[in-house]
């Protein structure tokens, strides 16, 4: 919807109300868990819509451009999960050890159907990344060449 209607109703030469701007650089948190379950994988989790959108990445997340990783979307996790580390007991869902592999903030840069572009400030992950939906639960996770 934007701010067009708000602005159309006001003459900013005559009112001291703010013209306003759409803030797109809101910082959000992300975490990557290294999860040694029956199969080792990394869980990428991005704070979006009040939850952690989550993807299981079977290989180490890309640190350089040109590496494509499969990322399988899994159920949203609560924001509290950001700080979780520990051992999930044998027989329970995801049994195994969960460690924080990387953590930091990110800016959402572009959100389209099937495409999420974001810029990351973590310890291991830095710069521009993209998630591209390829079908079903499958996405591609890659580092962008330009790190805007």
- Nearest residue (CB) to Mn ion, 35 versus 53: 35
* Minimum distance from residue 9 beta carbon to Mn ion (Å): 49
Check if the beta carbon of residue 116 is closer than 8 Å to that of residue 130. Answer: yes
Q: What does the alpha-carbon distance between residue 129 and residue 148 come to, in Å, rounded to a whole number?
A: 10
Which of 44/116 has CB closer to Mn ion?
Answer: 44
Distance CA 98, CA 57 (A): 14
CB of 61 to Mn ion, least distance (A): 13
CB of 92 to Mn ion, least distance (A): 12
Distance CA 35, CA 2 (A): 40
Rounded to a whole number of angstroms, the minimum distance from the CB of residue 64 to Mn ion is: 24
Instruction: Please identify, using beta-carbon distances, which residue of 43 and 102 lies nearer to Mn ion.
Output: 43
Question: DSSP string covering 6-31, please?
Answer: HHHT--TTT--S---------EEEEE
Residues within the interface to Mn ion (CB under 5 A):
35, 43
Please say which residue, 88 or 108, places its beta carbon nearer to Mn ion: 88
């Amino acid at each position: 919807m934007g701010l067009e209607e708000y602005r159309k109703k006001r003459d900013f030469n005559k009112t001291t109300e703010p013209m306003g701007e759409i803030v797109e650089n809101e910082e959000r948190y992300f975490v990557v868990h290294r999860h040694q379950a029956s199969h080792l994988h990394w869980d990428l989790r991005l704070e979006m819509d009040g939850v952690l959108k989550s993807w299981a990445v079977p290989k180490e997340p890309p640190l350089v451009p040109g590496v494509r990783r499969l990322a399988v979307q899994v159920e949203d996790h609560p924001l509290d999960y950001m700080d979780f580390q520990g051992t999930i007991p044998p027989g329970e869902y995801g049994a195994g050890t969960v460690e924080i592999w990387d953590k930091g903030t990110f800016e959402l840069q572009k959100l389209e159907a099937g495409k999420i572009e974001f810029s990351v400030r973590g310890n291991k992950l830095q710069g521009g990344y993209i998630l591209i939906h390829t079908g079903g639960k499958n996405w591609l996770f890659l580092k962008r060449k330009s790190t805007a």
